[in-house]
Amino acid sequence: MGSGQWLLEKRSSFRNDSFARDGDNGVPETGCLSIIVLGASGDLAKKKTFPALFNLYRQGFLQESEVHIFGYARTQISDDDLRKRIRGYLEKDGSSGISEDLPKFLNLIKYVSGSYDSEEGFQLLDKEISEHEVSKNTAEGSSRRLFYLALPPSVYPPVCRMIRQCCMNKSDLGGWTRIVVEKPFGKDLESSEKLSSQIGELFEEPQIYRIDHYLGKELVQNMLVLRYANRFFLPLWNRDNIDNVQIVFREDFGTEGRGGYFDEYGIIRDIIQNHLLQVLCLVAMEKPILLKPEHIRDAKVKVLQSVLPIKDEEVVLGQHEGYRDDPTVPDTSNTPTFATIILRIHNERWEGVPFILKAGKALNSRKAEIRVQFKDVPGDIFKCKKHGRNEFVIRLQPSEAIYMKLTVKQPGLEMSTVQSELDLSYRQRYQDAVIPEAYERLILDTIRGDQQHFVRRDELKAAWEIFTPLLHRIDNGEMKPIPYKPGSRGPAEADQLLESAGYVQTHGYIWIPPTL
């Protein structure tokens, strides 16, 4: 077991309550905090992890007097080289005060170089962390160590082993050691379970934060509030009223230098099995007993376990033309860059309602949304059908909004009807609010010990159970993607599938986000 003492998190389930945060239960949440970004030389670290940490620092969540940030990777660079690499990404938002805050933040960052599977580098890392803890006069053991694995999953097992052997918090005086792991967590059920067991032998579940950054998005976090704090939705949210649900992710760019990674995984593993499925859970789950992480995650697991096996005829795969021109993508690649998949939930609430998950790269727009389409009005005396159905749309990005498409009387002397909307556009309604980046919020949760917005092991298993048979059929070449033009809507067959599932497109109506 090496020098690291086995440290269990000293948190009760009450501590996990998202409304019961720092300092509950006698666990000190102040004192030295070391955040270690492993894979600090990489893409995610510079684009997301360090900028999120900087934003937390600027808002006072990371105090200079107690926090230190360490970058760790194999690349041989100096502290200053790392600072230079990330500087441009931190300056990006250009808000006032950045020029004063930036040097102070960069000064908190130290870089340690070492391999991912030998003790030498991790012993050096431990020495640096300990020196920092001592310099802050932290009693041994009361410090907090957060390891963020911004690394390919192939190195998670050796890295976790090294952390465990060399870098754990040394005693049990109320501090903690936590690890954050990125998706994709495995490639199928078997590999994911193997990875879970390997990490599970080293860390307890409360120490493991499996991040899915969609769970940190403002309107994803709003989902349970909308559903359970508003009387209107309660009686409507079921098979009696809802005809179909779409959860859509579109990007108007391709794999952008990540072709090698993407080709190994494809759009289902990259977006659908994790991000869109997590959103589906929040749309479809039953009400949790309480707003505590374990109750919420229990409810999510339950709905995942009620998903029926995917039928081949309810899947359309696509690959955009030009995808294989990327030198890191094999000429014969069968990897989908687009997929529409219908999931069916076998329970009292959702029997017969298709949940249409759609994701694609190199399409005609960038957006992510949840679109709940209601059934036609029975005994329709206004001939509303010709205008389209009621829809409740949650626009996750860009331009966060919640709007409801409904039929109203056309203003004027005539009694005619028209499709309109009730619109809650965030930029207009909350003009002074700054919507935090998903990573920012989730990293703060890891520091606070709140696992509500992280994926539990059994949830991950249930998610892979749904997609593994389909993924294996694609990997074996039994299902082929249809070519589509970059900048298009994807294969026409996907729209046909939507129609056959019952989705009725509203013609002649486009929601235009209001401008100030």
Ligand X SMILES: NC(=O)C1=CN([C@@H]2O[C@H](COP(=O)(O)OP(=O)(O)OC[C@H]3O[C@@H](n4cnc5c(N)ncnc54)[C@H](OP(=O)(O)O)[C@@H]3O)[C@@H](O)[C@H]2O)C=CC1
Q: Residues binding ligand X: what is the number (CB under 6 A)? A: 20
Classify residue 423 by its DSSP letter: E
| Smallest separation (angstroms) from ligand LXAUTJHC to the CB of 454 | 15
Stretch near ligand X under the rule CB under 6 A, chosen from 6-14, 43-51, 317-325, 483-491: 43-51
The type of residue at 468 is T
Shortest distance in whole angstroms from residue 89 CB to ligand X: 12
Query: Is residue 133 part of the contact set for ligand LXAUTJHC (CB under 6 A)?
Result: no
Q: Which CB sits closer to ligand X, 211 or 315?
A: 211
Tokens read off for 299: 């409810």
| Nearest approach, Cβ of residue 152 and ligand X (Å) | 5
Asked whether 165 and 2 are in contact (CB, 8 A), the reply is yes
- What is the spatial distance between Cα 50 and Cα 129, in angstroms, rounded to a whole number? 18
Q: State yes or no: is 132 an active-site residue.
A: no
The binder of ligand X chosen from 126, 182, 243, 445 (CB under 6 A): 182
Exposed e or buried b for every residue in 205-237, given b needs 16+ CB within 10 A? Answer: ebbbbbbbbbbbbbbbbbbbebbeeeeeeeeeb
Q: How far is CA 89 from the centre of its chain?
A: 20
> Is residue 270 involved in binding ligand LXAUTJHC (CB under 6 A)?
yes
Cα dihedral: 177, 183, 189, 190 (round 10): -60
Surface-to-core class of residue 73, CB atoms within 10 Å of its CB (0-12 exposed, 13-18 middle, 19+ buried): buried
Long-range contacts of 469-473 (CB under 8 A, 24+ apart): 469/309, 469/310, 470/268, 470/310, 470/312, 470/315, 470/341, 471/187, 471/188, 471/266, 471/268, 471/269, 472/188, 473/312
DSSP state of 154: G
Choose from ligand LXAUTJHC, ligand X, none: what does 42 bind? Cβ within 5-8 Å by kind. Answer: ligand X
Q: Which of 2, 42, 158, 200 binds ligand X (CB under 6 A)?
A: 42
Which of 213, 275, 320, 453 is catalytic? The answer is 275
Q: Which residue has the tokens 């053991």?
A: 141
Angle, CA 276 vertex, CA 247 and CA 194 arms, to 5°: 160
Listed residue (463, 465, 443) closest to 453, CA to CA:
443
Which of 274/420 has CB closer to ligand LXAUTJHC?
A: 274
Between 121 and 288, CB nearer to ligand X = 121
Q: Report the residue closest to ligand LXAUTJHC, judged by CB.
A: 270
Choose the stretch contacting ligand X; rule: CB under 6 A; options: 40-48, 225-233, 283-291, 421-429: 40-48
**Residue 26 burial (C-beta neighbours within 10 Å; 0-12, 13-18, 19+):** exposed
Per-residue contact track with ligand LXAUTJHC, 362 to 401, x per CB under 6 A? ------x---------------------------------
From the list ligand LXAUTJHC, ligand X, none, pick the one residue 58 interacts with, judged by a Cβ distance below 5 to 8 Å according to partner type: none
Binding mask 51-90 for ligand X (x = CB under 6 A): ----------------------xxx---------------
- The footprint of ligand LXAUTJHC on this chain (CB under 6 A) covers a number of residues equal to 4
Residues 135-164 that bind ligand X (CB under 6 A): 150-155
Q: In the complex with ligand LXAUTJHC, which residue's Cβ is closer, 367 or 489?
A: 367
Burial (0-12, 13-18, 19+ Cβ within 10 Å), 18: middle
C-alpha 95/C-alpha 91 separation (Å) is 8
Using CB under 6 A as the criterion, which residues of the chain lie in contact with ligand LXAUTJHC when the complex forms?
213, 251, 270, 368
Active site residues per annotation? 275
Using CB under 6 A as the criterion, which residues of the chain lie in contact with ligand X when the complex forms?
39, 41-45, 47, 73-75, 116, 150-155, 182-184
